[in-house]
Every structure is written in structure tokens, then in C-alpha cells.
């Protein structure tokens, strides 16, 4: 009799471990927010400056705007092995903060279902927006979503689908002054079984 509860506990543990491994092996369609990255400084419009640390293959695309932004690598990521960064928009005179990965151009199939996932937080309840945007002129968003924040890490999911093919880049934007933390960003296509 005592063997059955122990056996069930063991089976549940094995299933949980298998699900963790499967989730870890999920390949992001854009460069995932990892722990490797680099420091940089670039000039923005009207003597503004953008500086700090970003995960490999992620870049700030705000040099055209009159914004001052600092990116800081965080050591308290919400999960093991994911990168986390503090985005502080210090000054926003014109334009907005734009964070993207040009290496992660996303080709969406007609009828495909996609999801951008990660974590956000902000002690000030500062907002952040995520979307899929055209890479070229007229630079419009195909789909976007406001991300609500809390003082503790909060998981987010941005689901989108299109009736025809689209190609663009995943971009995070913030037009106003404020501080928000972002971590563990991945983009995946939902499996056929999940689409039903």
C-alpha cells in the first residue's frame, strides 16, 4: 500500500522533469533573451544617449529619437538561464524607446499561430508594449499589445495570427519616461494540436 503513493510521486516527478526539459528545448523563432550580451553606447537625436547592456543579437533602435535610455543587466532573473534587463527611459523629448532583434526577422505563415512570451515587472507600474512590426517603410505594427506590469516578475503572453503571410520584427516600445524590467523573451509557433 505504501508503494503506490511513492510510485505516483515518482511518476509525477518524472512527468514534471520531462515537461521542463521539453520547455527548455523549445527553440525561439527569434534570438532568445539569454545571459550573454554586451555593453554599448550610441548617440541619439539632439545630444541624447542610449547606453548599457543588452542580450546578444538584441539592439536598441531608438537612435533616430530624442530619447535617453539606460539598459542594465539584472542578476535576479525570474528563471534559471534567462537574461533580464532593466530598461530605464530617462528622458523622452521626441519619439520612443524601441528594442528589437534585427537578426530575428519573423516570417509568419497564413493561419499560423504565434506567441511572444517572457516576464515583465516595474515598481512604478510603468508600461511596455510588444508587437510585430514591419521592418521597412511605413514601419507599421501588424499586431501589438500593452503589457501590464507589477512590482514582482509577471509572466506575459502575446498571441497573434494573420490570415495572410506577414514578415516583420518583434519590437518592444516605450514612449514615456519610466523603468520596466524585461526577461526571458522567446517567440514560438503554437503546435498544430494547440491551434484547435
Paired with 52 in beta bridges are 40, 71
Q: How confident is the model at residue 122, as a pLDDT?
A: 98
**Cα–Cα distance, 84 to 190 (Å, whole number):** 24
pLDDT at 41: 96
Which helix (H) or strand (E) segment holds residue 7: the answer is: helix 3-25
Separation CA 11–CA 71 (nearest Å) = 43
pLDDT per position in the chain (196 positions), as tens? Answer: 555 545 444 443 433 333 333 344 568 999 989 999 999 999 999 999 999 999 999 999 999 999 999 999 999 999 999 999 999 999 999 999 999 998 778 999 999 999 999 999 999 999 999 999 998 899 999 999 999 999 999 999 999 999 999 999 999 999 999 999 999 999 999 875 455 4
DSSP string, 86-136: EEEEEEEEES-EEEE-GGG-EEEPTT-EEEEEEEEE-TT---EEEEEE-SS
3-state secondary structure of 193: helix
pLDDT number for residue 13: 41
Which whole-number Å values give the CA distances from 155 to 67, 163, 184, in the listed order? Answer: 27, 27, 10
**Residue 103: predicted pLDDT:** 76
Which is nearest to 124 in space by CA: 194, 73, 176?
A: 176
pLDDT at 104: 72
Per-residue pLDDT at 32: 84
Domains belonging to the chain, first-starting first, are 28-195 (2.60.120.260)
The pLDDT, as a whole number, for residue 136 is 86
Quickly count: other Cβ atoms within 10 Å of residue 112's Cβ: 15
CA-CA distances (angstroms) from residue 91 to 55, 129, 156, 174? Answer: 23, 18, 26, 11
Contacts (Cβ under 8 Å, ≥6 apart) of 34 = 55, 56, 81, 82, 83
pLDDT of residue 2: 56
Amino acid at each position: 500500500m505504501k508503494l503506490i503513493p511513492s510510485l505516483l510521486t515518482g511518476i509525477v516527478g518524472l512527468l514534471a522533469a520531462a515537461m521542463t526539459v521539453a520547455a527548455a528545448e523549445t527553440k525561439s523563432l527569434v534570438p532568445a533573451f539569454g545571459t550573454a550580451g554586451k555593453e554599448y553606447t550610441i548617440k541619439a537625436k539632439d545630444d541624447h544617449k542610449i547606453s548599457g547592456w543588452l542580450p546578444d543579437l538584441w539592439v536598441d533602435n531608438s537612435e533616430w529619437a530624442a530619447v535617453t535610455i539606460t539598459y542594465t543587466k539584472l542578476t535576479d532573473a525570474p528563471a534559471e538561464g534567462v537574461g533580464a534587463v532593466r530598461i530605464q527611459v530617462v528622458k523622452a523629448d521626441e519619439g520612443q524607446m524601441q528594442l528589437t532583434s534585427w537578426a530575428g526577422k519573423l516570417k509568419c505563415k497564413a493561419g499560423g499561430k504565434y506567441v511572444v512570451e517572457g516576464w515583465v515587472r516595474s515598481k512604478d507600474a510603468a508600461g511596455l508594449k510588444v508587437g510585430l512590426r514591419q521592418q521597412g517603410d511605413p514601419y507599421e505594427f501588424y499586431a501589438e499589445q500593452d503589457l501590464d506590469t507589477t512590482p514582482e516578475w509577471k509572466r506575459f503572453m502575446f498571441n497573434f495570427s494573420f490570415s495572410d503571410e506577414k514578415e516583420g520584427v518583434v519590437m518592444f516600445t516605450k514612449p514615456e519616461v519610466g523603468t520596466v524590467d524585461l526577461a526571458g523573451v522567446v517567440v514560438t509557433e503554437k503546435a498544430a494540436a494547440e491551434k484547435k
